[in-house]
Amino acid sequence: MAVKPVNLAEKFTLFDDHWSPRVVTELNDYQVKLARIEGEFVWHSHEDTDELFLCLEGQLIIELRDETIELAAGELVVIPRGTEHKPSAHSECKILLLEPRGVVNTGEVSNELTAAQDVWV
């Protein structure tokens, strides 16, 4: 396997749809994903895993049932397993996600925002 750097800015030029994470690399059983987000997502949780959100550009808002977290570019947060959350962004925001392979972006919810798995860029 060739070891080479991943250029995140270049990867973002390869897709423009919102709420559809793209895998850029894997680390053990974890996938590093990029996503463009805008507007509101759905309330959901991941019962078996924590989820890391890193805001790369813009402002990411993550609502929890008892508080709201706002992330600026360069900030990250880990949402603990089983915690209901709803990401959103008033204008387009670019994020990086770290989560185990096979995690469905909408958790147990299945709707039009449920993204296909293992889509690489």
- Mean pLDDT across 95-107: 94
Beta strands in the chain (DSSP E): 22-27, 30-40, 51-57, 59-64, 68-72, 76-79, 85-100
Is pLDDT above 80 for 10?
A: yes
For position 69, what pLDDT does the model report? Answer: 98
Cα–Cα distance between 97 and 3 in angstroms, integer? 21
Specify whether the CB–CB gap between 89 and 56 falls below 8 A. no
- Mean pLDDT across 60-85: 98
For position 1, what pLDDT does the model report? Answer: 66
- Mean pLDDT across 85-97: 98
Q: Which residues pair with 23 in a beta bridge?
A: 33, 120
Asked if CATH classification 2.60.120.10 holds for the domain at 8-100, the reply, yes or no, is: yes
With tokens 């798995």, the residue in question is 117
Q: What are the domain boundaries of the chain?
A: 8-100
